[in-house]
Amino acid sequence: MIYIMIRISEEFIEKTDSIVQFSGKTVLEIGCGKGHYTIQLARVAGSVTAIDPDAESIGIAIARNVGDSVYYKIGSAVMLDFQDESFDIVVFTLSLHHVPDLEMITAINEAIRVVKNNGYIVFLEPATEGTFFDAELMFDACDGDERKEKELAYNVIMSHPNLEHIRELNDRTVFEFDSVEDFVQSLQPKINTEQLLDFLAGYNFALEAKWKINICRPIKI
């Protein structure tokens, strides 16, 4: 049996689009993973170029076949293989905190380089609250305890001298699991698994992940 956790509530595109207006725009997505947000971006943007360093994830994303307006490529946030000012909008989808600590500034510098003068850089990053986050900590599930990395990513965004901060928005995703086995297969917990049933039942098998959306404009030198 294949278990897949289901996202039953999500507003990232709707909230972000009210400011950056994706329609007709060229978008670079950094850290596309298996293409979940890429599919959503493709519905509203003119075209989407989506990169991720993991070849397996890119292969899965390509297999989802979302249309001719999406181009997938293996790539690194700290060395973008694109010309200056190639995109209207650059979106980091839950990816900046995965960049090594000393390279986060480099990743943002690269985003500033490839986005147009009047463009936007959007950061979607996980918060350190919500029942999904509690599960990550309690069961060492998914990416485990990344509080240090998340805090650092946020501080780098907010303090970068070549970003004009436009707006911070709160976002959330609710993940629904149909069983303990679904949670185990999806998030691969490593500890305290004997407590999983009671934990999940306490939240009706639906866990809330909270995100921060930070929308910026580049300050070109």
Q: How far is CA 146 from CA 84, 184, 193, in A?
A: 32, 19, 20
pLDDT, residue 221, reads: 80
CB 188 within 8 Å of CB 218: no
* Backbone torsions φ then ψ of 119, nearest 5 degrees: -90, -170
pLDDT, residue 66, reads: 82
Q: How far is CA 55 from CA 33, 34, 90, 158, 182, in A?
A: 9, 10, 21, 31, 25
Q: Which residue has tokens 């510098």?
A: 109
Query: Bridge-partner residues for 210, per DSSP?
Result: 172
Q: How far is CA 204 from CA 45, 111, 179, 198, in A?
A: 35, 40, 10, 10
In residues, how long is the chain? 221
Q: How far is CA 212 from CA 103, 122, 175, in A?
A: 21, 10, 17
Q: Between these two residues, 179 and 5, which has the higher pLDDT value?
A: 179
From the centroid of its chain, how far is CA 5? 17
Residue 2 has pLDDT above 50, yes or no: no
Residue 5 has pLDDT above 80, yes or no: no
CA neighbor of 141 nearest in space, from 100, 191, 194: 191
Average per-residue pLDDT for the chain: 95
What is the per-residue pLDDT across 92-129, written as a single tens digit (0 to 9) for each? 999 999 999 999 999 999 999 999 999 999 999 999 99
Residue 25 has pLDDT above 90, yes or no: yes
Which spans in the chain are helix H? 12-20, 36-44, 55-63, 104-114, 131-139, 147-159, 180-187, 196-202
Extents of the domains making up the chain: 10-127+144-173+211-218
Q: Which residue has tokens 């709160």?
A: 170
Q: Poorest-confidence range of 2-6, 46-50, 60-64, 152-156?
A: 2-6
pLDDT, residue 65, reads: 79
CB 37 within 8 Å of CB 15: no
* Beta-carbon contacts of residue 42 (< 8 Å; ≥ 6 apart): 48, 66, 67, 69, 70
Find the helix packing angle between 180-187 and 131-139, rounded to 10°: 80
pLDDT, residue 9, reads: 72
pLDDT, residue 4, reads: 63
What is the per-residue pLDDT across 57-93, written as a single tens digit (0 to 9) for each? 999 999 987 889 999 999 999 999 999 999 999 999 9
pLDDT, residue 53, reads: 97
What mean pLDDT comes out for the span 200-211? 96
Looking at domain 10-127+144-173+211-218, does it have CATH number 3.40.50.150?
yes
pLDDT, residue 192, reads: 95
CA neighbor of 116 nearest in space, from 33, 219, 202: 219
* Beta-carbon contacts of residue 100 (< 8 Å; ≥ 6 apart): none
